[in-house]
Chains A and B, each alone.
Chain A
């Protein structure tokens, strides 16, 4: 069974631009969560989607948004990029919230 895939793997943007990251979960998994990982803040929860509905949202500004499609694939968007948005963005999928999450390799976003 294929794992969680994330595209692109690396991204360089400038301040003020916007970016869209994509995540394809493991086949059959309906829950997708997104995390931001930085050396200073560690792993911070962004949002969780289940069957196209956002179930939870972390403490991030409205510039961060996401969605999930009917095939469970998910995208997250960051608008008006700031230098502090530079991070590794991780996507994770699970069959349901009682099971373990499986993580993708992440998208490394650098904002210049």
Chain B
């Protein structure tokens, strides 16, 4: 069965420091991988995706993610965090070979302090 794990419920970083939000997945085939962000009382906003090609994917607002096939991970990163990055982050996966739906992780709350 497909699954997505975000091992940290919350990540705290100081403004200006690098941040990492972790995601590991389990699919039977090759995945499509996505990151979304949700601000309070809002819908989800797309950040970036991995379909194929370069393992380092660049997305919106300075975020990037690294696809690691051997570790089945897709960690979200940003070199320098902003207070405005504080939000709930979701990793999602879909097996490209199946007709299954998009599976979301539980979400990680990112808190960036000044």
* Partner-B contacts on A (CB < 8 A): 4, 33, 35, 42-43, 45, 48, 55-56, 58, 90, 92, 97-98, 100-106, 108
Contact present for B90 and A43 (CB under 8 Å): yes
Chain A residues whose C-beta falls within 8 Å of the C-beta of B107 in the assembled complex: 42-43
Contact present for A102 and B100 (CB under 8 Å): no
Chain A residues whose C-beta falls within 8 Å of the C-beta of B58 in the assembled complex: none
Contact present for A33 and B43 (CB under 8 Å): no
* Partner-A contacts on B (CB < 8 A): 32, 34, 36, 41-46, 49, 51, 90, 94, 96, 99-107
Interface residue SS majority, chain A: strand
Pick from B34, B42, B106: contact of A100, CB below 8 A. Answer: B34
Contact present for B49 and A100 (CB under 8 Å): yes
B43 to chain A: closest residue by CB? A103
Contact present for A101 and B101 (CB under 8 Å): no
- Known: A43-B90, A98-B32. Is A56-B100 also a contact (CB below 8 A)? yes
